[in-house]
Every structure is written in structure tokens, then in C-alpha cells.
Amino acid sequence: MPDLLTLAREAAGRAYAPYSGFQVGCALLTTQGEFFTGCNVENASYGLTICAERAAICQAVAAEGPGMKLAQIAVICLQSEFPPCGACRQVIAEFSLPGGVTEVTWVQKGTALTQPISALLPHAFSLP
């Protein structure tokens, strides 16, 4: 089985990040056992930038349909260390397993850290 952080690192190398200089990659595993990757794609109009996590999730939905669920997801930045941003946390929560148990991995202080999305976004927005 491929290592998600390794796949994320490979995806980060393909990022288009001429404005921030931060190359971010993401890799995920769906509950159907499929792997998808994505990288950040920046835009001069910053609000149009797509984060690596959302790029990978969109590919997974396009391949598996609206019922796609995330089993695991990993994100890495080649120039720094940080977890997914707030917008990405919300999108991850949208496609998480029930109860927010989908595991999210990133690198912090040189070590892989894994937490369920419910710990990263304890009060995710949802519609009734």
C-alpha cells in the first residue's frame, strides 16, 4: 500500500505556487480503496487559488461520485509544516466518515502527526 505522505510529497512537487512559494501536496485514500492526489494551484487573484486538499477531494468525487468518503488524507508542504487550512478542514469534514473519524496526517516539528478531522474541526458546519 502506498504511503500517503510520500504520495503527497510527490504531488507537492507539481504545485503551481509562484506567489506564496509554498508547494503543497495532498494524497487521500477513499473507503473504496482508491488513491487520489492533488497539489495547490495558485492564481494572481488569490481567492481563486485551489488548495491541494480540495484538489484531491474534487478528483475523488469526480471519480467515485457524490457518495465518496475519505478513509485517510495526508498533506505536506515542501517549504514549511502546517495542517490543512480552515476551508480544507470543512471540506474534509463534509466527506469524512460518520462521526468525523477520518484520519488527517501532516508533518509537525519533523514528525508525522495524525488526528481525526473531528479533533481538527470540532464544530464543523453542517446543514440540518
With 90 as the cut, is the pLDDT of residue 9 above it?
yes
CATH architecture of 4-120: 3-Layer(aba) Sandwich (3.40)
Q: Which of 10, 42, 53, 81 is catalytic?
A: 53
With 90 as the cut, is the pLDDT of residue 128 above it?
no
The pLDDT of residue 1 is 66
- Asked if residue 46 lies in contact with residue 19, where contact means CB atoms within 8 angstroms, the answer is yes
Confidence grade of residue 30 (pLDDT, cut at 50, 70, 90): very high
The residue extents of the domains of the chain are 4-120
- Section 55-71 average pLDDT: 98
- Joined together, the cell numbers standing for residue 21 give 512559494
The pTM of this model reads: 0.96
Nearest-angstrom CA–CA distance, 34 and 65: 13
Q: Is residue 10 annotated as a catalytic residue, yes or no?
A: no
